[in-house]
């Protein structure tokens, strides 16, 4: 009996080591496994105290934890200071902040990456989808009303027979959507309350039309297309909170309106933009960005814009490669925007490539200065081997590399066939190279084949020298074989904290 008492006491003491802050468990390497055993379903945020995105998440994360706790849910939220618990961060492949992983059923070997938005409702809905039924069974009108009232977007299937083929297709669609709650109802009173007369699906939302009724064939693919087209507002503002929804969604073509919210004609511009959006639901996402907000300046820079040049319209595709488009007319009218988007959907637009003017002294220093307008001529000179650094002026890793790169240029300045060059990729673009992170280093060997070789070796003067002397063999790989760290525009502002050299060997777009 005494032995049993001691074991219980030790178990309680162990659990007592798991501290809480605002209903969020505070985990460390010493109590991590104990937490997984005590809480079979646990969402863990790996954060850095200095990370701006982590700080912005704090209130929403705590709110989600409190919501679940108040409901009596067995799902818990936890956090790990990855800068203090480096071993844990490394074990779970943490490469950026915040990284959020869901451990289901105490399984620590293969946690699921959190993929929804960063507001409390998004977090709670995602977790409920991962642990409960795909759709909540609604047996009373009050349940349906509460589901609609408590969520920004809800999809409800109305089916007289729960085992019908339509109901089965609806549930399959529900299983595929993480960030929207689903309900299913068969009760006549619920049909009557929401004026539904036959089996079907209705999307309820707190914006725009308030509800959308599906009128197509009841199959998973078409239902998912309907939900994708209607679950976001016609026009959505780019913010810290909406970024995951914008870039994590299936719509990869985005038209952006850069406009200051304080402008006297802001409402008029929004009205025109929204009017144009109506015809492109499910095809192009319409986003507006407040051009006066400091946190958005990196995005303006990415498009070669300055605050004083706004309002402005740009379009971007986020498929295999980011491609940007610029309208011929800067006038923000529904007519112009519709015409611009129509040309895009018909494949009749040419990409917009930024370029600075060619500096008069671009070739006077050992490291040559490239811009969009002289790039092709220099790097694909068949008689030259050209080694280029693609950099960003704000990039901490680029600044660290600068003296080494200058020394490399100095060492090869008298070479007849080697050119060391650099290009500011925040202001210049070209078709041959798509830059996703900084610094990016690429070698263009002499010849007519227009080859491109990625440099993957050490970023030292010795490493660069051996690479050039070996003709791009030692430390190189054919272009495209390296693992790019990012391919989405939502990371444009993520690396402010990383520009001092933290968190890897290059800064991401």
Please identify every residue annotated as catalytic: 51, 54, 395, 398
Q: Minimal CA–CA distance to 492: which of 240, 278, 207?
A: 240
**Separation CA 101–CA 78 (nearest Å):** 10
Bridge-based pairing state of the strands 136-138 and 285-290: unpaired
Contacts of range 501-505, beta carbons closer than 8 Å, 24 or more positions apart: 501/396, 501/397, 501/400, 503/95, 503/96, 503/97, 504/95, 505/397, 505/459
272 CA to centre of own chain = 27
Q: Which helix (H) or strand (E) holds 4?
A: helix 2-16
For residue 111, what is the DSSP state?
P
342 CA to centre of own chain = 26
Edge-to-edge order in the sheet of strand 440-444:
367-370, 418-424, 385-391, 440-444, 453-455, 476-478
| Look-up of token digits 């490493």 | 463
Report whether 76 contacts 61 (CB < 8 A): no
DSSP 414-478: T-SSEEEEEEETTT---SS----EESEEEEE-SSSS---EEE-S-SSHHHHHHHHHTTS-TTEEE
Report whether 421 contacts 370 (CB < 8 A): yes
**Separation CA 47–CA 302 (nearest Å):** 26
φ/ψ region of 325 (left if φ > 0, alpha if ψ in -120 to 50, else beta) reads beta
Cβ contacts of residue 353 below 8 Å, gap of 6+?
A: 324, 372, 429, 430, 431
DSSP 329-396: -----HHHHHHHHHHHHTT-PPPP---PPPPTTTTTSSEEEE-TTTHHHHHT-TT-EEEEEEE-TT-H
Separation in Å, CA 436 to CA 141, 337, 340, 385, 499:
50, 28, 26, 23, 15
Report whether 439 contacts 395 (CB < 8 A): yes
Cis peptide before 311 (omega within 30 of 0): yes
Separation in Å, CA 397 to CA 52, 302, 479:
19, 18, 21
For residue 321, what is the DSSP state?
S
**Separation CA 34–CA 15 (nearest Å):** 7
């Amino acid at each position: 009996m005494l032995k049993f008492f001691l074991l219980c006491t030790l178990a309680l003491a162990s659990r007592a080591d798991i501290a809480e802050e605002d209903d969020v468990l505070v985990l460390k390497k010493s109590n991590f496994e104990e937490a997984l055993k005590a809480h079979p379903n646990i969402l863990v945020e790996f954060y850095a105290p200095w990370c701006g995105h982590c700080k912005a998440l704090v209130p929403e994360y705590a709110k989600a934890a409190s919501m679940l706790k108040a409901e009596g849910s067995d799902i818990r939220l936890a956090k790990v200071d990855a800068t203090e618990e480096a071993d844990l961060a490394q074990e779970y492949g943490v490469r950026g902040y915040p990284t959020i992983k869901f451990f289901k059923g105490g399984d620590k070997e293969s946690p699921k990456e959190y993929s929804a938005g960063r507001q409390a409702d998004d977090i709670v809905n995602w977790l409920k989808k991962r642990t409960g039924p795909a759709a909540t069974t609604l047996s009373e009108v009050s349940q349906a009303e509460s589901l609609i009232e408590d969520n920004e977007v809800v999809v409800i299937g109305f089916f007289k027979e729960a085992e019908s083929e339509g109901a089965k297709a609806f549930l399959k669609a529900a299983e595929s959507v993480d960030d929207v709650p689903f309900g299913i109802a068969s009760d006549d009173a619920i049909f009557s309350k929401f004026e539904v007369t036959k089996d079907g699906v209705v999307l309820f939302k707190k914006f725009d039309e308030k509800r959308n009724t599906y009128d197509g064939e009841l199959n998973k693919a078409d239902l998912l297309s309907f939900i994708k087209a209607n679950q976001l507002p016609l026009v959505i503002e780019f913010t810290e909170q909406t970024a995951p929804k914008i870039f994590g969604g299936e719509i990869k073509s985005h038209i952006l309106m850069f406009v200051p919210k304080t402008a006297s004609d802001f409402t008029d511009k929004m009205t025109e933009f929204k009017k144009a959006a109506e015809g492109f639901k499910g095809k192009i996402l319409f986003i507006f960005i407040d051009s006066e907000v400091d946190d958005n300046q990196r995005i303006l820079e990415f498009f070669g814009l300055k605050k004083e040049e706004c309002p402005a319209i740009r379009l971007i595709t986020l498929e295999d490669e980011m491609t940007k488009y610029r309208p011929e007319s800067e006038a923000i009218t529904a007519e112009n925007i519709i015409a611009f988007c129509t040309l895009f959907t018909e494949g009749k637009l040419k990409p917009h490539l930024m370029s600075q003017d060619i500096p008069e002294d671009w070739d006077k220093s050992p490291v040559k200065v490239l811009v969009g307008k002289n790039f092709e001529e220099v790097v694909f000179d068949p008689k030259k081997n050209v080694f280029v650094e693609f950099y960003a002026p704000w990039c901490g890793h680029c600044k660290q590399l600068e003296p080494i790169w200058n020394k490399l240029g100095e060492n090869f300045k008298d070479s007849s066939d080697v050119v060391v060059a650099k290009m500011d990729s925040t202001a210049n673009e070209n078709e041959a190279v798509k830059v996703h992170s900084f610094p990016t280093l690429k070698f263009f060997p002499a010849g007519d084949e227009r080859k491109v070789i990625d440099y993957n070796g050490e970023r030292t003067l010795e490493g660069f020298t051996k690479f050039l002397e070996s003709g791009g063999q030692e430390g190189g790989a054919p272009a495209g074989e390296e693992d790019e760290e990012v391919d989405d525009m939502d990371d444009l502002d993520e690396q402010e904290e990383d520009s001092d050299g933290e968190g890897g060997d290059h800064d991401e777009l």
